[in-house]
Homo-oligomer: A and B are copies of this chain.
Amino acid sequence: MEDLIIKLREFAEERDWNQFHSPKNLAMALSVEVAEIVEHFQWLTEEQSCKISSEMLVRIKDEIGDVLIYLIRLADKLGIDPIKAAAEKIEKNKSKYPANLVRGKSKKYSEY
């Protein structure tokens, strides 16, 4: 991760692209890249989405790479450590959704 952060800083500097990389713009770019993942799954059934062809996986891997790239850039510009942010959020989620209360039927998932 640390390595990616540094590579992405260099990548932007070499291209003089920091002028475009405001957090606002990076958040937009992040949403665009995520939509490219969603696009692959939009007409598939859930079942089909579990057995993606290897050809399609190669493309989705690229999109996942792009999402992580912009997420890292955004976090870097804001001085946030994404790994630490995720680790702390998992702990919060553990309290928010106690396993014994939400097992297989959490309100979050079953209120419909």
Q: What is the size, in residues, of chain A's interface with B at 8 Å between Cβ atoms?
A: 81
Chain B min CB distance to A16 (Å): 4
Q: What residues on B are CB-neighbors of A60 within 8 Å? A: 78, 80
Contact at B28–A42, with CB atoms within 8 Å? Answer: yes
A89-112 contact mask (Cβ, 8 Å, vs B): 1 or 0: 110111001010011101011011
Main secondary structure of the interface of A (DSSP, over half): helix
Residue from A28, A50, A79 whose CB has the most chain B CB atoms within 10 Å: A28
Neighbour of A31 across the interface among B19, B24, B25, B35, CB < 8 A: B35
Neighbour of A72 across the interface among B30, B38, B86, CB < 8 A: B86
Contact at B35–A35, with CB atoms within 8 Å? Answer: yes
Within 8 A of B (CB), among A27-71: 27-32, 34-50, 52-53, 56-57, 60-62, 64-69, 71
Chain B min CB distance to A39 (Å): 5
Q: A1-B1, A32-B35, A49-B22 are in contact. Are A67 and B62 (CB under 8 A)?
A: no
Q: What residues on B are CB-neighbors of A80 within 8 Å? A: 57, 60-61, 64
